[in-house]
Amino acid sequence: MNLLHKQLSALTLVVLAYAIPAFAADEKIPNPFSKIVTVEPVVPGQHNAFVGMTMIGESIYLFYRHDKTHVSVTGELWERHSSDYGLTWSNPISVYTGNHILTDYPEVLKKDPLSTADARDPRAVTSPDGKFLILACFVTLAHQKSDEPGSTDPNDHNRRHTNKILTVSIRIPIIKGTPDYKNKKIVIVDEKSPLTGTLFYHRDKLYISTYGNKTSFYESADNGDSWERVGTCYQTSSQGGSDKIMANESTTTMVGETMVSIARPIKNKYGIYAKSTDYGRTWNDYADSPERLDGLQAITLNNGRIAVVGRKNSLPRGTFLYVFNSADYSQEGELFKVAANGYKNGMDRGYPSIIRHRDKFFAAWYDGKLNPEPNRNKHNSTGVYFRQLDYDPKTYTFSYGGE
C-alpha cells in the first residue's frame, strides 16, 4: 500500500470513529435475525421496485416505486416504515406521484396532451440535524401507446412515448420524528437526465448525481432548496472522456475526504471506479474494478474499504454485496450473498438499498415472478424484501443476523 492509501485509510478510521458512536446504556439495540422479511408481497399485475432507505431516529423508512408494470407512465413512490428494525412494517402510503411536474412544464401538455408522469428509483437520506427527509427520484413525462400491457403493436417497443426525463429532489420536514409529507418542497435538479445511485450528505452539504451520456454531480448547501452542477464523471469521448468509461449507473460514497465512485460501464465487462478530492469538481484515477453490478449503491466501511450492493447478472443471480479489499478498488475483493433469486435468465431483479446503523446493516431489494411472455421484463410482478446483516469491522465480513 502506498503512502496515499495509508493516509486515506487512517483518515477513514478517524472519520468513522467520530461518525458511528458506541451504544449508550439506555439505547435500543437491534436484535439480529436471519430471516428475509417480505415488506411488499408479490401480487399479480403489480410492479413494486427500486428501493431507497434511510433512518429517522430509530425507525427505518423504506421507499419504492409502485405501478402495474416496469415500463409505464403512472408510477408513484410508496413508503413503509418499521420501528422494530425491520421485523414488521407499516401499511404503505403514497408520498409522491410526480403529476405536479406537469403544472411546472405546461409545454409538455401542449406538445402531447396525453402525457402523464412516472416517478421511479427513489433514494432517501435524513439531514444531519434531523430536520429534513430528502427524497430524490426521476420523473418520466410520457404517454402510453397502448392500453394493453401485452400489446403486440410492432411500434410499441416500450409502451410509452417519452417527452422528458427529470431528476427531482423532495424536501420533507420532520416534525417530532415524523415526516410531514403534506408540506414537501420539490425542486428540479436536472432537466435532461435521470437520477443515478448517489444521494448523501458530507459536511452539511448534499450531493446527487445523474447519468445520460455523462454522469453529472450536483451539490446543495441548503438541504436541496437549490442545486449547483459542480462536475462530470464517466463521460464519453465527446465530453473529454472515453467510450470505455461511459456509464449509465454509478454510485458514490465518501472515504475520508475523498469521493469514490463505482460504476457499471456500458462498454466494459468490468466495473470501473474514479476518485475526486475536490467534492466532485474533477475526477481521476479511472480504473477497472473486478465486480460489475447493476443498480448499485455504495457504503463506506472502515480502513478505506467500500461495500457495493447490487444485482449480479452472472450465475448465481440475485442481490449481492461486494467488499473491496483496500483503498485500491481495482484489487480483488469478497462477494457476499444477500439473496439469490435462482433465475437462470431473470432480468430486472434487485436494484437494492443498504443503510448502516452503527455496525448493523439493513438491506432491501425487490424480486418477483417472471412473466412468460416475450416482454417479461416489462410485466413482471414484483415485491419488496428486507434483511439484517451483521458486519465484523475487524475482518470486514458480513453475515446474516443470528447465524
Report whether 402 contacts 34 (CB < 8 A): yes
CB contact burial 274-291 (16+ within 10 A = b; e otherwise): bbbeebbeebeebebbeb
pLDDT of residue 79: 98
Whole-angstrom Cα distance, residue 100 to residue 107? 14
233, amino acid identity? C
Between the CA atoms of 254, 256, 258 and 264, what dihedral angle is there, to the nearest 10 degrees? -40
How far apart, in whole angstroms, are the C-alpha atoms of residue 206 and residue 220? 5
Report in angstroms the alpha-carbon separations of 200 from 37, 88, 131, 184, 391: 26, 26, 15, 19, 21
Q: Which cell goes with 259?
A: 469521493
For residue 376, what pLDDT is reported? 45
Nearest to 209 by CA among 119, 141, 138, 311: 138
CB atoms closer than 10 angstroms to residue 81: 18
**For residue 205, what pLDDT is reported?**
98
Residue 319 CA to residue 346 CA, distance in Å, equals 12
Q: In order along the chain (403 residues), what is the average pLDDT of each group of 10 residues?
A: 41 36 55 87 90 96 92 91 96 92 81 87 97 96 67 54 90 97 94 92 96 89 97 73 75 94 82 93 88 89 89 82 83 87 58 90 87 56 92 89 61
Spatial distance between the Cα atoms of 216 and 221, rounded to a whole number of angstroms = 17
Cβ–Cβ < 8 Å for 388, 360: yes
Q: Characterise 2 by phi-psi region: left (phi > 0), alpha (psi -120 to 50), beta (else).
A: beta
Q: Please report, for the chain, the start and end positions of each structural domain, with discontinuous segments joined by +.
A: 1-21+35-43+290-403
Give the pairing of strands 185-190 and 397-400: unpaired
DSSP assignment of 194-209 equals: -EEEEEEEETTEEEEE
| Residues 146, 156: Cα–Cα separation, whole Å | 7
Rounded Cα distance between 307 and 322, Å, is 5
- pTM reported for the whole predicted model: 0.88
How far apart are alpha carbons 15 and 202 in whole angstroms?
Answer: 11
Q: What is the DSSP string of 97-130?
A: -STTHHHH-HHHHHH-TT-EEEEEEEEEEE-TTS
| Grid coordinates given for 284 | 481521476
The closest alpha carbon to 213, from 267, 270, 276, belongs to 267
Length of the chain: 403
| Cα gap 362→84, rounded to integer Å | 12
pLDDT of residue 23: 45
| Peptide linkage before 316 cis (omega within 30 of 0) | yes
* Inter-CA distances, 299 with 54, 119, 146, 332, Å: 13, 25, 40, 17
Environment class of residue 314 by beta-carbon count within 10 Å: exposed (0-12), middle (13-18) or buried (19+)? exposed
Contact status, residue 153 vs residue 146, Cβ threshold 8 Å: yes
Q: 318's torsion region: left (phi>0), alpha (psi -120 to 50) or beta?
A: left
